[in-house]
């Protein structure tokens, strides 16, 4: 089976981190195809960035047909519903996947994300996916996305934020709130003595399971059927379905 | 005061319908500036269309600074949070505005939208805005968006769908689920004997009130502050904030 | 259009504050008719006061027919459903109106009210109107209602309470929890750098919009139809519908 | 112990029905004091009636101090929070009591009330008390309150409505939605083979238990402390606390 | 009437405490039959203990047929749904009963339980019974169940925990989270000046009321009908219904 | 990795069906160890059966230490929290696993279970896991558990029930509500053209992912730490932790 992991920003260094995390947990019979968005923001740190990352994400899916699953590797899960309309295989966001894996690992989990301003979106997703009872808090570690890999103090700062969140919230597990943190899950878990869930690994696992089960996004209600054909204009002209 | 009403698809005929509806309820001291999206889909009938309507919407806001309110005239409220980050004045979606106006008009309301496949998104918005108790049903009239103005049977079909929704749900009011229905609110209300809320008119009213009160989107939590500067690439290169 | 703003307590000085706030935001074509309750408590600071303010409120509505909207200017929204049965135009409470206006101005809002003992009722209204997610906290400033206008420290105390609520709750906006605070909204907003919503102004705006749209309370489900005729006895004998 | 059961309308025939139902379940050591409201509507069939029944209810409580519990025998639970402020013993509404007793008797219950227009209020109470999951439906039998005792077909109509509700909702129990139905609970239960809960009996039982446990309404948060002293004017002048 | 109160652990000393609490509030015409579980854990302090207390509880019910109500005297309400299938009379858990009695005594209540690790289960029950709004906090006093009676400091520690919970949560009432605390309710209530609810007394009161009303668990939906006959094997062989 | 799949009833034929389903989706590097409960009911069709299946389930876990995940193969998820306290690896129930996999496959799913009387428990789990919005209906096919394998019409009856549920609920996916249906998922999916989720396969997939990520149940809050040592007596004497 082939799982397509898409970094919806244009930072190839982050795609590398994501690819490594994805491959570290993949089934022996699964191939990980890691893709960087062909257009849009260099990182996603606002609703504005997130909205404008979606065209690149959708283009990436169209450019990589015939995979058995698609993972959107940004914790805002941008473009998820749209992606489900055009992909022939299941699509997950890493926030969604991480919460589905975290929920059964204890009574409650805490999310630790990058910047304060992303807390609102994470909270929306918690509500949307149904984890309002299980998610006991959302916290920021105040490191910009692209500094996660370059700031030598990232691991220490993040570990501290995770430990504090665990205790403040009375949680049993931590969900990492950015794809760029994927390489730190094990280290932090060992340090704080609690499960730490990286959404990239969680998503690869869930998509692989779905593929093994032969599952695809359901289209019975019509909502996730292919989008109607439509004329598009301007810089997005090429996006019109035909 | 000046209220900017943005049609996020590229159909100028629909912009006209929207502008007329907006002006019909505007305060005497309010100017309505109706804008058609400069790029993207000709109509919005899927999650895919909606996601790809957002760049044009955001561009339209940037192209029309210095207004006292911005209304997103598509019932999916595309790009709402992103728009709040870049607009200097309050931003509303027409689904949001319509529900805020409908809720106090009775015990419950029903939504009547265009195509079946848009029911899921409408339901998400109902939950997100907090109207799960008040919204008693979401129904489709099975008319594609761009046929609303051209199909001679539109008014009859929509009136029938509204009447049936009112009774099936035990509702006191109807919310029209598409900006392209704005011109039919009064006719249907008279026919079915119940308040029928068009989100365009509702949005103009709420934004005018906010402007009169001197209100702007709050930025204290940081979530809706201006997006960070960022390099954008590809066809969206021009969207990078500087 | 004519909007009837009813102060459901008998303190005419508070009616003046309310009238000024209402007129400051009214459409040029709207007349504000400010009314003081003809009977009942001098101020509303308990469930007991609130319940006993309702007869005067209902009498005031009956005494002022033929308006285009009625606003109940007490943050407990007393008698709202009953008023909807007898008024020929839409009726709003100021708590209801303030929350509808505050919700779209950010991720969350905080309410700052007068006395501790009113927090419970405010919380009930938050739940009832559907704003449990958006309302992040309800706080008291410990000033009795009738001292709001006479205590020279009111503005400072209230400003401090609003600032603290904003930060403690991580909110983007403040809702003032008493009609007697209407004159302070702008001053506090300027001081704390966040939108501050006065329900009187919010209510006038929403009712004006409803009037411009030609909307009335829906009666399709029967709940808000005129009350059945009924014999009343004792001091309330005159309230029987005939 | 003495339990004061208050009929908040002025129909003494209904007070008799209520008194019989209350005494049929009372502890051997409990005295039931049945009281008819001294003023207000002859029956309660609208929000308007309910609001205007509250002064009489509160007066009745003040007129009967030194009891060990107070039951408000109208299914809208009018004036409940206000009554808790002035009574020295616990206060229950019959809707509240009936739901607390019905919930543990199965997976879900249905409410059968008098007129369609009372369904909205019943639904509000279901939400307010926390029984949204347990209450599976609210139905009307279309008999006006004062006809319950005089219409010879009442028992048959009500039995039919209860049986239909039980099956339509997949419920395990029925809650009767009017104090005037109290005498029919056993007959209908025998006929439909399911528990049928009359709120008068339920309320007497819960209040007796509270009295035996020595419990009173808590005032620690201040909300249910005695109302502040206040000047009242007009026909309600005598209601001011001193 | 006869109410069967079952201590689902094997500690007879705790059964005595429970029996005394039950009898202190029983109706004059009610007989309290206190039963100790014939098998299983000596105390219940984990999900494991709770699960393994259920066979003994069910056996105790089968061993005591022909009672008018059954109370499960452990705050985790173990085996409640199973018990309802086999008992001919209503069954309550003490957590369930305590919450139903506490809810009407104020705006909110706090639970004070034994060990930290039981907080999760208490929270589940709060959600399950519908008291998420009313329950404002769950706290542990860190005393193991079997030390409640032997530790001379129990009363002081528990009183302190209750007082702190009341203030921290802004609650009006306290629910005691263990049957072994039943003898301390009055002392703590007097000390902290707030109602303190013991579930054993609450349960006896509710079951007595149900018995007086002639109520039994409803079986209309089929869920609580007698379990199907079934072959059981191993140490549980004797549990098979025939 | 080794995944232990436990059939908590004593029917070895059902264990075989479960084992085949589990192995059909397992990673190439995963060994499936299928275990039949050593005691208790022959099938689980009531709350009573479910409660009494837990000792055997817990014994099976203790008898199979050193696995990388434990799956409870009964749709009531019996003993889940208790199992998490004693297992050194993650534990999932098949209802839990199936819902986590079904939720991302569309807007909503329907559950099709065996007997009517199991609908209540399934509904509790839906609420408990947070899928109240996603689960749109729970339906029974009226086939007893042990007849699933022997009744030649099972596949046709179940397919019909799934098709009807899909349309009645407007769902995008079906969750099979019994481990004994595991072998029919693909056939029904092909027949109705929608994803059909078997919890056994879903659980094996999720547990394998957790194992690959090195995740264990979190114990930071203390709730899922090993149970305290305790004396057990009677037929359950051997269950005491030491």
What is the tens place of the pLDDT at every residue in D130-189?
Answer: 999 999 999 999 999 889 889 999 999 999 999 999 999 999 999 999 999 989 999 999
d(CA F98, CA F182): 11
DSSP run (H or E) holding C8: none
What value, to the nearest 5°, has the Cα angle with vertex E72 and ends E68 and E75? 145
Report DSSP letters for A132-189, one per residue. Answer: TTTEEEEEE----GGGTTT-TTHHHHHHHHHHHHHHHHT-SEEEE--GGGGGGHHHHH
Whether A127 sits inside 8 A of C133 (CB atoms) is yes
**Cα F74 from Cα F93, distance rounded (Å):** 7
Euclidean distance between the first and the last CA atom of chain C, given in angstroms as a whole number:
28
Q: ipTM of this complex > 0.90?
A: yes
Torsion of CA D166, D170, D172, D173, to 10 degrees: -40
**∠ at Cα F179 (F176, F182), nearest 5°?**
65
Q: Say how far residue B173 (Cα) sits from the centre of its chain.
A: 18
Q: How many Å apart are CA D109 and CA B218, to the nearest integer?
A: 44
Nearest-by-CA chain C residue for E108: C120
**Residues C101 and C15 both lie in one domain:** no
Statement to judge: residues E76 and E110 lie in one domain: no
Same domain for F206 and F114 = no
CB A99 within 8 A of CB A119: no
Q: Which two tokens stand for residue A176?
A: 């990492």
Rounded alpha-carbon distances, angstroms, from residue B1 to B80, C32, C185, D53, F76: 21, 21, 20, 47, 60
Residue C193 pLDDT: 97
Structure confidence at residue D126 (pLDDT): 98
Question: What is the least distance, in Å, from the CA of F120 to any CA of chain D?
Answer: 7
Tokens 């709130």 -> residue: A177
- Those residues with Cβ within 8 angstroms of residue C83's Cβ, 6 or more apart along the chain or in another chain: C57, C58, C61, C70, C72, C91
Q: How far apart are CA E123 and CA E106, in angstroms?
A: 19
First to last CA, chain F: 28
Whether residue E174 is predicted with pLDDT greater than 90 in this model: the reply is: yes
- Asked whether the beta carbons of F76 and F44 are under 8 A apart, the reply is yes
pLDDT interval class at F145 (50, 70, 90):
confident
F181 and F205 share one domain: no
User: Both F49 and F133 in a single domain?
Assistant: no
Tokens read off for D124: 């509000």
Pairing of strands A232-233, B40-41: antiparallel
- Report the run of H or E that residue A128 belongs to, with start and end: helix A119-129
Per-residue pLDDT of chain C (242 residues; tens, 9 = 90+): 999 999 999 999 999 999 999 999 999 999 999 999 999 999 999 999 999 999 999 999 999 999 999 999 999 999 999 999 999 999 999 999 999 999 999 999 999 999 999 999 999 999 999 999 999 999 999 999 889 889 999 999 999 999 999 999 999 999 999 999 989 999 999 999 999 999 999 999 999 999 999 999 999 999 999 999 999 999 999 999 98
Residue C79: strand, helix, or coil = coil
CB neighbourhood size of F237 (10 A): 12
The secondary element (H helix, E strand) that includes residue C18 is helix C12-25
Residues D211 and D162 in one domain: no
Residue whose C-alpha is closest to residue C36's, from C175, C176, C179, C183: C179
Same domain, residue pair E195 and E100: yes
B220:C28 CB<8 A: no
pLDDT beyond 90 at D19: yes
* CB-CB neighbours of B20 under 10 Å: 14
Q: What's the rounded Cα separation, in Å, for the pair F229 and F196? A: 43
Residue A110 scores a pLDDT above 90: yes
The set of chains that have 3 or more CB pairs under 8 A with D is B, C, E, F
Residues D193 and D116 in one domain: yes
- Cα–Cα distance between C5 and C21 in angstroms, integer? 11
Q: Is the pLDDT of residue F17 over 90?
A: yes
Domain, as residue range, for B185: 96-199
Give which of E83, E223, E224, E241 to mutate to test F binding, by max F Cβ within 10 Å.
Answer: E223
**Domain shared by A143 and A80, yes or no:** no
Scan for tokens 């509240």, then name that residue: D96
Chains E and B touch (3+ CB pairs under 8 A): no
**C-alpha–C-alpha distance, residues B154 and B159, integer Å:** 8
* Nearest alpha-carbon partner for A43 in A184, A161, A202, A179: A179
* Domain count of the fold of chain C: 2
Q: Residue A107: its chain E contacts at CB < 8 A?
A: 120, 123
Residue A146 has pLDDT above 90, yes or no: no
* Cβ-based neighbours of E29, under 8 Å, separated by 6 or more: D27, D28, E1
Q: What is the pLDDT of residue B149?
A: 86
Alpha-carbon torsion angle A7, A9, A10, A12, nearest 10: -40
CATH classification of the domain holding E181: 3.40.50.12500
**Which residues fall within 8 angstroms of residue C141, CB to CB, at 6 or more apart?**
C112, C113, C114, C157, C158, C161
**H or E element in which residue D182 lies:** none
Instruction: Please answer yes or no on whether F127 and D133 come within 8 Å at the CB atom.
Output: yes
Other beta carbons less than 10 A from residue D233's beta carbon? 17
Q: How many residues does chain F have?
A: 242
DSSP H helices in chain F? 12-25, 47-63, 80-86, 94-102, 119-129, 154-169, 185-192, 199-212
CB B58 within 8 A of CB B82: yes
- pLDDT by position in tens, chain B (length 242): 999 999 999 999 999 999 999 999 999 999 999 999 999 999 999 999 999 999 999 999 999 999 999 999 999 999 999 999 999 999 999 999 999 999 999 999 999 999 999 999 999 999 999 999 999 999 999 999 889 889 999 999 999 999 999 999 999 999 999 999 989 999 999 999 999 999 999 999 999 999 999 999 999 999 999 999 999 999 999 999 98
Question: If you average pLDDT over residues E108-127, what whole number do you get?
Answer: 97
Q: What is the nearest CA distance from E26 to chain F, expressed in angstroms? A: 29
pLDDT at F227: 97
> Are residues A192 and A106 located together in one domain of the fold?
yes
DSSP 8-state secondary structure symbol assigned to residue B1: -
In the stretch 104-133 of chain A, residues with CB closer than 8 A to chain C read 119-120, 123, 127
Residues of E in contact with D124 (CB under 8 A): none
Residues C183 and C193 reside in one and the same domain = yes
Query: Are residues A89 and A6 part of one domain?
Result: yes
Buried b (16+ CB within 10 A) or exposed e, A186-224: eebbebbebbbbbbbbbbbbbbbbbbbbbbbbbbbbbbb
Whether A223 contacts chain B with CB within 8 A: yes
CA atoms within 13 A on the CB side of F160: 8
């Amino acid at each position: 089976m082939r799982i397509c992991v898409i970094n919806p920003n244009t930072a190839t260094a982050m795609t590398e981190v994501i690819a490594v995390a994805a491959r570290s947990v993949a089934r022996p019979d699964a191939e990980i195809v890691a893709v960087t968005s062909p257009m849009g923001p260099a990182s996603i740190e606002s609703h504005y960035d997130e909205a404008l990352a979606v065209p690149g994400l959708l283009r990436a899916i169209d450019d990589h047909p015939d995979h058995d699953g698609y993972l959107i590797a940004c914790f805002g899960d941008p473009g998820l519903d749209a992606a489900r309309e055009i992909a022939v295989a299941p699509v997950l966001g890493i926030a969604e996947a991480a919460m589905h894996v975290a929920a059964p690992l204890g009574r409650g989990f805490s999310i630790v994300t990058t910047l304060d301003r992303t807390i609102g979106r994470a909270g929306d997703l918690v509500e949307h996916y149904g984890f309002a009872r299980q998610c006991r808090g959302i916290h920021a570690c105040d490191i910009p996305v692209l500094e996660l890999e370059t700031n030598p103090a990232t691991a220490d700062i993040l570990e501290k934020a995770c430990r504090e969140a665990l205790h403040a919230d009375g949680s049993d597990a931590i969900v990492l709130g950015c794809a760029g943190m994927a390489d730190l899950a094990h280290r932090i878990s060992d340090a704080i003595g609690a499960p730490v869930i990286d959404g990239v690994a969680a998503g690869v696992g869930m998509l692989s399971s779905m593929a093994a089960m032969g599952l695809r996004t359901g289209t019975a209600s019509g909502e996730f059927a292919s989008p109607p054909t439509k004329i598009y204009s301007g810089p997005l002209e090429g996006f019109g379905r035909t």
